[in-house]
C-alpha cells in the first residue's frame, strides 16, 4: 500500500480527492496535503488593535498562564501552545472583544491587501468577519469598509463580531455581491470567496463524505468566476484587490485568477512568500500567487493580488 493509500484509508477522505490532488501536485505533495488535513491545528488569535495593543494581549495571556509563540510576519498574531479555544473564550480579553480567534492563514489576505485609512474598501464575502474586523483594525478604524454578506444567519454573526470588535468603520450590507450595482466603485477590494474548503477539511465531521463533493467544487467555481468578474468591475482604475480561498485546488484558485486576467482589465501584482517567513507554501500554477499547505499551524489557503489597469 502506498503512503497515499494508507493516509486516505486512515482518515476516510472523499474518494475522488486524492486523485485530484495527485493530478495537480504529484504524489509527494498530495500526501503532504492529506497528512496536513489530519494535523491537530493550534489555536491562533489576533490582537484587536481597535481595543488593545499586542503588548496588552501578551500580558493577559501570560497572567492567565497561557503559553504562546509569535509568527515573524505579524506582531498581532498569537499561537497558543496548548489547549483548545474554550480556554481562550473564558478570558476577559475575549469577552471584551480585545482578541479575535482567527486562523493564521486567514490573517494573510488583509496583510496582502494593505487596507488604507480613508479608503473605500469592499469586503465581498464578509461573514463571520475575521478579515473585515482585521482590516478595520489595520486602518485604526479609519477606512470606510462595506462588508457584504448574502446569508442572513451569517450576517447576524458578522454583525455581532463587528460590534463586539468595535469596528465602527464597517457598513454592513446583506446582499449577493454578484448583484452589486456597477455604479459603485472602491479603492480596495477583498474577495475572500466561498469555496469547497479543500484546504481545511474537517476529518472529524461525519458529513464530510456527503458535503465535500465534485458538485460543491463546480458550484464554488461558478460563484467564484462571477464574483471575481464583479470585483474587477467595481475596482477603481490603478487600485488593487485580493482574491483568496481556503481551497488548494487550482480550479478554484489560479484558474479563477486566470479568468479575471483574461478580460485584460487587471494585471497580477506578484506576492512573495518571503514577506511571510515560515509560511509552508505549495507549488502554484501561476507565479506570483501564493498557496499555503495545511499543517499544524496553517490552514490550506490561496491568495492572489490584482491591480486594475
Interface with ligand SAM (CB under 6 A), residue total 20
Q: Could you give the 3-state DSSP secondary structure of residue 187?
A: strand
Q: Cβ-closest residue to ligand SAM?
A: 125
93 Rama class: left (phi>0) / alpha (psi -120 to 50) / beta: alpha
Exposure of 290 in the CB half-sphere (CA atoms within 13 A):
27
User: Which residues inside 106-125 make contact with ligand SAM, applying CB under 6 A?
Assistant: 106, 125
169, 195, 246, 291: the catalytic one is 246
The reply on whether position 149 binds ligand SAM by CB under 6 A is: yes
| Catalytic residue list contains 291 | no
| Integer CA distances (angstroms), 192 to 2, 4, 39, 122, 210, in order | 35, 30, 24, 11, 24
The reply on whether position 307 binds ligand SAM by CB under 6 A is: no
CB of 53 to ligand SAM, least distance (A): 22
Bridge pairing between strands 144-149 and 120-123: parallel
State which of residues 7, 34, 61, 192 lies at the interface with ligand SAM (CB under 6 A): 192
The reply on whether position 76 binds ligand SAM by CB under 6 A is: no
The stretch near ligand SAM (CB under 6 A) out of 126-134, 207-215, 275-283, 294-302 is 126-134
Bridge pairing between strands 74-80 and 235-245: unpaired
CB of 148 to ligand SAM, least distance (A): 5
The reply on whether position 61 binds ligand SAM by CB under 6 A is: no
The stretch near ligand SAM (CB under 6 A) out of 23-31, 89-97, 127-135, 276-284 is 127-135
Q: Hey, which bits of the chain come out as E strands? A: 44-47, 68-71, 74-80, 99-101, 120-123, 144-149, 170-174, 186-192, 235-245, 266-269, 290-292, 301-308
Residue at grid coordinates 456597477 = 182
The reply on whether position 300 binds ligand SAM by CB under 6 A is: no
The reply on whether position 194 binds ligand SAM by CB under 6 A is: yes
The reply on whether position 154 binds ligand SAM by CB under 6 A is: yes
Distance CA 250, CA 246 (A): 12
State which of residues 36, 97, 115, 128 lies at the interface with ligand SAM (CB under 6 A): 128
**How many CB atoms are located within 10 Å of the residue 230 CB?**
20
Do 145 and 187 meet the contact criterion of CB atoms below 8 Å apart? no
State which of residues 178, 229, 236, 307 lies at the interface with ligand SAM (CB under 6 A): 178
Nearer to ligand SAM, 111 or 223 (CB): 223
Phi, psi of 109 (to 5 degrees): -60, -45
State which of residues 99, 191, 223, 266 lies at the interface with ligand SAM (CB under 6 A): 223
The reply on whether position 126 binds ligand SAM by CB under 6 A is: yes
Question: Please, what's the b/e burial string for 1-27 (b: 16 or more CB within 10 A of its CB; e: otherwise)?
Answer: eeebeebbeeeebbeebbebbbebbee
Nearer to ligand SAM, 33 or 223 (CB): 223
CB of 10 to ligand SAM, least distance (A): 28
Cell of 128: 463571520
Active site residues: 246
Footprint of ligand SAM (CB under 6 A): 106, 125-131, 148-151, 154, 176-178, 192, 194, 223, 227
Amino acid at each position: 500500500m502506498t503512503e497515499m493509500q494508507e493516509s486516505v484509508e486512515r482518515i476516510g477522505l472523499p474518494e475522488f480527492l486524492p486523485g485530484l490532488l495527485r493530478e495537480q501536485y504529484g504524489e509527494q505533495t498530495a500526501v503532504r496535503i492529506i497528512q496536513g488535513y489530519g494535523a491537530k491545528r493550534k489555536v491562533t488569535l489576533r490582537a484587536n488593535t481597535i481595543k488593545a495593543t499586542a503588548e496588552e494581549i501578551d500580558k493577559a495571556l501570560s497572567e492567565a498562564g497561557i503559553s504562546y509563540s509569535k509568527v515573524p510576519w505579524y506582531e498581532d498574531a498569537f499561537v497558543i501552545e496548548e489547549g483548545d479555544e474554550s480556554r481562550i473564550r473564558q478570558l476577559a480579553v475575549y469577552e471584551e472583544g480585545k482578541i479575535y480567534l482567527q486562523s493564521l492563514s486567514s490573517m494573510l489576505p488583509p496583510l496582502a491587501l494593505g487596507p488604507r485609512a480613508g479608503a473605500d474598501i469592499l469586503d465581498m464575502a464578509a461573514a463571520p468577519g475575521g478579515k473585515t474586523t482585521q482590516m478595520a483594525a489595520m486602518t485604526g478604524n479609519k477606512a470606510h469598509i462595506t462588508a457584504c454578506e448574502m446569508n442572513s444567519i451569517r450576517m447576524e454573526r458578522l454583525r455581532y463580531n463587528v460590534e463586539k470588535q468595535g469596528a465602527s468603520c464597517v457598513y454592513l450590507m446583506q446582499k449577493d455581491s454578484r448583484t452589486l450595482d456597477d455604479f459603485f466603485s472602491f479603492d480596495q477590494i477583498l474577495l475572500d470567496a466561498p469555496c469547497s474548503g479543500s484546504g481545511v477539511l474537517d476529518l472529524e465531521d461525519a458529513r464530510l463524505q456527503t458535503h465535500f463533493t465534485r458538485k460543491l467544487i463546480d458550484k464554488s467555481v461558478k460563484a467564484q468566476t462571477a464574483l471575481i468578474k464583479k470585483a474587477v468591475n467595481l475596482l477603481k482604475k490603478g487600485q488593487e484587490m485580493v482574491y483568496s480561498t481556503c481551497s488548494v485546488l487550482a480550479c478554484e484558485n489560479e484558474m479563477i485568477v486566470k479568468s479575471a486576467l483574461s478580460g485584460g482589465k487587471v494585471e497580477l501584482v506578484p506576492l512573495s512568500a518571503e514577506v511571510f517567513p515560515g509560511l509552508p507554501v505549495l507549488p502554484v500554477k501561476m507565479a506570483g500567487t501564493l498557496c499555503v499547505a495545511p499543517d499544524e499551524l496553517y490552514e490550506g489557503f490561496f491568495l492572489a493580488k490584482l491591480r486594475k489597469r
